Chain A
Amino acid sequence: MRSLLVIAAIVVGGFLVIHVGKAVTAKDPPPGGHSGSTAVSLSTMQTYRTITVSPTAVTCGGYRRGAYPNRSKGAMGFPNGTCAVGNRVKGKDPIKITYNGMQGFVYVHAGWAMPNGNDVGTPWKPCSSTGQRAVRCTGPNGLPGYDQYMVRTFSPEAGMLTQITGNNVCDMNFRPAHGCYASRGNSQREGLYITGPSKIPGTDTAQSWTAWVIWTAEPQSIRHHPK
């Protein structure tokens, strides 16, 4: 009987210790303590990774290609009409991308081109003449197919164009000598070439479209982090 009571007491005691122990916390040290103190002011480098793009919107001009009668100098023609933001040959690169903060990479992708306002139109998806099948252009000779469009970036330092899709890819134009590697204060001027679809549905009435191109400041890969 006595041993049974002892066991019960141990169990109850242990249970109380576990629960009451949770509520016990140490007191905060007194502010300032007993010793003298002095305020130290210091500056640190920027701990954000930022990217800025200017201007916020650009106009695509210099319309070319398409086939009669779907060809115009004032609008994108079909099939595969083109327009340009800037001029690679004349060295006009109206978009400025600036990277700041800890070193990383500059990636870029394009969004769907959407019809404006109440216009009826099927969105155009960005495609590439190379790369994964999911984003590959389905038109002849690697050109955009049905409801597809192509965005290519150029910069004064790069010898070739970079095709961009809906997936983030390294913007090889940002620092051609270092891939898309970027560190504090790096900037680049770039322009765009846009190629339209081979054809669009006959029911589409939209004559004005809005496209997105987004540059992303990316951290270094997990592989590059010493652990």
Chain B
Amino acid sequence: MHLRALAGTLVPAMVLAGVLAAVPQPAQASVGVGIQAGPVRLPGVAHPGQSVALPPVSVVNAGTRPESIRVGVQRDPRGGGRPVPPSWVQPGVASVQLAPHHAIRISLQLTVPAGAKPGSYVGDLVATASGQLSVGHANLGAAAATLLEFRVAPDPAPGFWWSVFTQTLWALLIVLLLAAVVFAVRRSGIRVRVEREAVSYGAADEYGGEHA
């Protein structure tokens, strides 16, 4: 009798507990972002006055909601190298909308001003997901950073010197060709005689000019 009563009480309770355990509880929303672990490093060197494409950077939405993620440059909080002025690096897009757990590669353009100091530049490339604004609350955001490294050479871009070299070569070639033509004409014996014929003024009289 007691066993039957106990079973009658326990079984529904166990079934209810099982059902509760099986029903997924709503997960707490999270804001999250990821960025490639490897640094963004310019192969070779950049030159003052030059604009070059940096390797693209990969970012991922690690949160549970669609996020608008933007990429920018910040000073490396741990120091090292010359700080990268944020205005030198332009991402291909100002911000990108990403679904949860989706990733994208963002192109980067490095523009080094003509007066840039040579040396090694180090900064943080930061992807920030600021989440959706919740008015009147303390809003929580996430950001992920990777190193950005490049070197600026002390001299102008090699393209400059290459263009000077090419133009000089063209000018030299034209001069040499002209000289060759002149010499060839002289050696061939061809003579071009240019004579000036005296012109007598008053010819109008001879051809019937009128006189008052």
What is A's interface to B at a CB cutoff of 8 Å? 1, 4-5, 7-8, 11-12, 15, 47-60, 85, 95-96, 98, 100-102, 104, 107, 111, 116-117, 167-169, 192, 194, 208-219, 221-223
> Contact string, B27-46, partner A, CB cutoff 8 A, digits 1/0?
01111111111110000000
- Chain B residues lying within 8 Å of A7, measured Cβ to Cβ, are 176
Given contacts A107-B77, A218-B124, contact A53 B138 (CB under 8 A): no
Extra A-B contacts (4), CB below 8 Å, given A48-B37, A211-B138, A218-B124: A1-B187, A54-B28, A212-B138, A212-B140
**B139 at interface (Cβ–Cβ under 8 A)?**
yes
What residues on B are CB-neighbors of A213 within 8 Å? 138-141
Report the tally of A-B residue pairs with Cβ distances under 8 A: 184
- Partner of A48 from B34, B140, B143 at Cβ < 8 Å: B34
Partner of A54, one of B29, B60, B139: B29
Report the Cα distance A54→B140, complex, angstroms: 8
- Contacts A5-B180, A57-B134; is A50 near B77 (CB within 8 Å)? no
B145 contacts A by Cβ under 8 Å: yes
Are A48 and B35 in contact, with the CB atoms below 8 A? yes
Interface presence of B62 (CB below 8 A) = yes
- Nearest CB in chain A: distance from B35 CB, A: 6
**Binding stretch for chain A, among B1-9, B12-20, B125-133, B198-206:** B125-133
Which one of B38, B80, B103, B140 lies within 8 Å of A56 (CB-CB)?
Answer: B140
Task: Describe B's contact surface by its main secondary structure.
Answer: mixed
- CB pair B135 A52 closer than 8 Å: no
Query: Nearest CB to that of B141 among chain A residues?
Result: A214
A11 contacts across to B, CB distance below 8 A: 169, 172-173, 176
Tell me how far the C-beta of B27 lies from the nearest C-beta in chain A, rounded to whole angstroms.
Answer: 8
Q: Mark B149-172, 1 if CB is under 8 A from A, else 0.
A: 100000000000000000001001
Let me know if B65 is at the binding interface, CB within 8 A: yes
Q: Is B53 an interface residue (CB 8 A)?
A: no
Interface contact A101-B135, CB-CB below 8 Å: no
Which A residues touch B180, using CB under 8 A? 4-5, 8
The residue that A53 contacts in the complex, of B134, B137, B140, with Cβ under 8 A, is B140
- Smallest CB-CB separation from A48: which chain B residue? B34
- Shortest distance from the beta carbon of B137 to any chain A beta carbon, whole Å: 4
B138 vs chain A, min Cβ distance (A): 5
Which of A209, A216, A217, A219 has a CB less than 8 Å from the CB of B147?
A: A219
A48 touching B137 in the complex, CB below 8 Å, given contacts A8-B180, A221-B78:
no
| Contact B144 A50, beta carbon cutoff 8 Å | yes
Please give me the residue from chain B that is nearest to A194 by CB atom: B138
Residues of B within 8 A of A208 (CB): 135-136
The one of A52, A167, A217, A218 that contacts B31, using a Cβ cutoff of 8 Å = A52
